[in-house]
Amino acid sequence: MIQYLIRTIKHKNLLFRLMVILLILVPIIFFKEFYQHIYSHFTGTILPHVITHQWHIVLINILMFITFLIPLSFRRKIDWKEYGIVTAFFVSLFIEMYGIPLTILFASKSINSPSIEIANVVYEFEFLGVTIAMDIAMLYASVLIVIGTIFILVAWITLYKKIKKEELVTTGIYSYSRHPQYFGFILIIIGWFVGWPTILTVLFAIILIYKYIKVCRVEEKELAHIKSYQKYRDNVPFFI
C-alpha cells in the first residue's frame, strides 16, 4: 500500500489527478445548489426560466459541437456510424435547451412534487441577443466542457503534427493519457449532463460514456500487435 502511494505521488500525472479530485469535491461542497439545480430540472419546476424558440442558438451550438466529430485519431479506421448517437445527443440537447424543452415540459405535467427553490444565479451574460443565466452547477458544467474541449484540441494538434513522422503517437499529451481525445469527449458529455440534467441526458450520457470506453478498448486491441505499444500501455494511464 505504501509503495503504491509513493508511486502515485511520484507519478507525473499527479497534478491532473489532483485537479480531478478538486472537480469531484465541488458538487459535494455545493451540495445544496447542485441538488436544487438537478431537482428543478427533473421535476420541471425550472420550466418558467427556460429559454425557448431561439433556433439560431440551437443551430450554432449543434454545428459547433458536431465539428468535434472530426476524426481525431489515425490509429483506427473511423466508422461514422459510431458518431450517429453523438449527433443525436447534441441535436436533442440543444433543441431542448434553446428550442422546445420537451422533457422538462412533460416532467412538469407528470410529476407532482413540492416546489423547490431554484438555485441562485451567480453569472449572467448575453449571447446573440439572449440573456443566459447560470447557477453554480451550470458554471461547474461549463468548466468541465472547457477542460474537455482543451483535451480534444490539444490531442488533435498533437496527432496531426506527428501523423507523418511516427507510426504511434506517444508524445505530448499522449505521454499523459492513452486516450486524451475520448477523455475530453467524456468530460464534455458529463458537463452537459450536469448543466442540463434530464432523463434524456441521463440516458444519452450513460450510453455515450460506455460507447467511448468501448471504442478505446477496441483501439487498444487493434494496436496490440505493435511491440512498442505494450511498453507505452504499461507506462501511460488509460485516461489520466
pLDDT in tens, 59-110: 988 888 877 666 544 445 555 556 677 888 888 889 888 888 888 888 776 6
Mean pLDDT of 180-207: 91
- Between CA 176 and CA 216 the distance in angstroms is 15
In terms of Cα–Cα distance, which of 153, 174, 150 is closest to 162? Answer: 174
Whole-model pTM: value is 0.84
Cα separation, 174 vs 186, in Å, equals 17
In percent, the amount of the chain with pLDDT more than 90 equals: 21
Closest CA to 83 of 73, 96, 221, 55: 73
Q: How does pLDDT run across 17-42, given as a tens digit for each residue?
A: 888 899 999 999 999 999 999 998 88
Among 33-47, 173-187, 189-203, 211-225, the range scoring the smallest mean pLDDT is 211-225
Average pLDDT (188-192) is 92
Provide CB contacts within 8 A for 179, sequence distance 6+: 216, 219, 238, 239
Q: Which residues contact 87 (CB under 8 A, 6 or more apart)?
A: 66, 69
Q: For position 43, what pLDDT does the model report? A: 85
Domain ranges of the chain: 2-235
